[in-house]
Structure 1
Amino acid sequence: MASFPVLWWRPRIEVRAIMKHAEETVLDGAEILARASGIRPLLREHAAEVETARRLTAPVVDALRSTGVFRMSMPTAWGGPELDVCRQIEIIETLSRADASAGWCAMIGSDSGYYSGYLDGLAARSLYPDLDAVTAGWLVPAGTMEVCDGGYRLSGRWSFGSGVTHADVVVGGARVTENGSPRTTADGAPEWRIAMLPASQWQVLDTWNPTGLAGSGSHDYSIADTFVPAENTWFPGERHRAGSLYAWRGMYVVNFVGVPLGVALDACDTATGILAGKVMMPELTPAHDEPRVRSGIARARALVGSARSYAYDTAGTLWATLEAGDEPSFDQRAQLAGCFVHTVSTCRDAVRLLVDTVGTAAIRKTSPLERQSRDVNTIAQHVLAQARMWEWAGGLHFGQDPSMPVL
Structure 2
Amino acid sequence: MNVIADHPSKQLTSGQADLIRNEAPEAEKISQLTPKQLGLIYDQRWFNAYIPKELGGLELSLPKIVKLEEALSWADGSLGWTMTLCSGAAFFAGYLDKQLAAEIFSDKKTILAGSGASTGTADITDDGFIVNGNWLYASGILHATHLTANCIIRKNNIVQKNEDGSDMIRSFIFRKEEATILPGWNYMGLKATGSHWYEVRNLTVPKNRMFCIDPEHATDQNIIFNYPFLQLAEATLVANFSGMAIHFLELAEVCVQSKNNLSNAKSKYIDGKKEQLLNDFNIHRGSFFKALDASWNELETRKPITEETLKNVSTTSRKLAHSALKLVDDLYPFCGMQAANSDSEINRVWRDIHTASQHSLLTFPFN
Distance in 2 between residues matched to 1:188 and 1:365, nearest whole Å: 50
Alpha-carbon spacing, 1:133–1:308, altered in 2? closer, same or farther (3 Å): farther
Partner-residue secondary structure (3-state), 2:343: coil
Distance in 1 between residues matched to 2:199 and 2:96, nearest whole Å: 22
Match of 1:264 among 237, 245, 257: 245
Q: Deviations over 1:277-305 (max 9, x none)?
A: 32125x5x7x9x82012113323322332
User: What's 1:273 paired with?
Assistant: 254
Contact 2:185–2:194 (Cα < 8 Å) also in 1: yes
Q: Which runs of 5+ in 1 are unaligned?
A: 1-31, 393-407
Partner-residue secondary structure (3-state), 2:115: strand
Partner-residue secondary structure (3-state), 1:124: helix
User: What's 2:65 paired with?
Assistant: 88
Match of 1:215 among 171, 189, 192: 192
User: What's 2:5 paired with?
Assistant: none
Partner-residue secondary structure (3-state), 2:118: strand
Q: Residue 244 of structure 1 aligns to which amino acid in structure 2? A: I
Match of 1:168 among 138, 145, 153: 145
Q: Residue 102 of structure 1 aligns to which amino acid in structure 2? A: L
Contact 1:271–1:369 (Cα < 8 Å) also in 2: yes
Q: Deviations over 1:201-255 (max 9, x none)?
A: 1111110111121221111111111121111111221211112211123164232
| Shift in Å, 1:350 | 0.4
Alpha-carbon spacing, 1:383–1:131, altered in 2? closer, same or farther (3 Å): farther
Alpha-carbon spacing, 1:391–1:34, altered in 2? closer, same or farther (3 Å): closer
Partner-residue secondary structure (3-state), 2:101: helix
- Does 1:255 find its partner at 2:236? yes
Partner-residue secondary structure (3-state), 2:313: helix
More deviation in 195-204 or 331-340?
331-340
Report 1:143-292 matches (<5 A): 143-237=120-214, 238-250=217-229, 252-253=232-233, 254-280=235-261, 290-292=267-269
Q: Residue 222 of structure 2 aligns to which amino acid in structure 1? A: G
Q: Residue 192 of structure 1 aligns to which amino acid in structure 2? A: I
How many aligned positions are there? 354
Partner-residue secondary structure (3-state), 1:83: coil
Match of 1:59 among 29, 33, 36: 36
Match of 2:87 among 110, 120, 126: 110
User: What's 1:122 paired with?
Assistant: 99
| Shift in Å, 1:82 | 1.2
TM-score (normalizing by structure 2): 0.90
Q: Deviations over 1:244-279 (max 9, x none)?
A: 211123164232222111111111111122223321
Contact 2:12–2:71 (Cα < 8 Å) also in 1: no
| Shift in Å, 1:112 | 4.9
| Shift in Å, 1:56 | 2.2
Q: Deviations over 1:84-127 (max 9, x none)?
A: 11211221111111210110001112125521110121011122
Q: Deviations over 1:164-213 (max 9, x none)?
A: 11112210101111122222234433222111112221111110111121
Distance in 2 between residues matched to 1:79 and 1:128, nearest whole Å: 7
Contact 1:292–1:357 (Cα < 8 Å) also in 2: no
Contact 1:379–1:385 (Cα < 8 Å) also in 2: no
Q: Residue 335 of structure 1 aligns to which amino acid in structure 2? A: N
User: What's 1:74 paired with?
Assistant: 51
| Shift in Å, 1:378 | 1.5
Alpha-carbon spacing, 1:122–1:187, altered in 2? closer, same or farther (3 Å): same
Distance in 1 between residues matched to 2:232 and 2:267, nearest whole Å: 44
Contact 2:55–2:102 (Cα < 8 Å) also in 1: no
Distance in 2 between residues matched to 1:379 and 1:108, nearest whole Å: 12
Partner-residue secondary structure (3-state), 2:32: coil
Match of 1:100 among 61, 77, 80: 77
Q: Residue 245 of structure 1 aligns to which amino acid in structure 2? A: I
Distance in 2 between residues matched to 1:41 and 1:204, nearest whole Å: 32
Alpha-carbon spacing, 1:359–1:67, altered in 2? closer, same or farther (3 Å): same
Contact 1:183–1:191 (Cα < 8 Å) also in 2: yes
Distance in 2 between residues matched to 1:308 and 1:391, nearest whole Å: 17
| Shift in Å, 1:132 | 4.9
User: What's 1:304 paired with?
Assistant: 281
Contact 1:314–1:339 (Cα < 8 Å) also in 2: yes
Match of 1:370 among 331, 334, 347: 347
Contact 2:89–2:148 (Cα < 8 Å) also in 1: no
Q: Deviations over 1:304-352 (max 9, x none)?
A: 3223212211210110011011112221221222223222211010011
| Shift in Å, 1:131 | 4.8
TM-score (normalizing by structure 1): 0.81
Partner-residue secondary structure (3-state), 1:172: strand
Contact 1:133–1:168 (Cα < 8 Å) also in 2: yes
Query: Considering only aligned residues, what root-mean-square deviation do their CA atoms show, in Å?
Result: 2.1
More deviation in 37-46 or 80-89?
37-46
Alpha-carbon spacing, 1:277–1:321, altered in 2? closer, same or farther (3 Å): same
Contact 2:112–2:148 (Cα < 8 Å) also in 1: yes
Q: Residue 225 of structure 2 aligns to which amino acid in structure 1? A: Y
Alpha-carbon spacing, 1:67–1:300, altered in 2? closer, same or farther (3 Å): farther
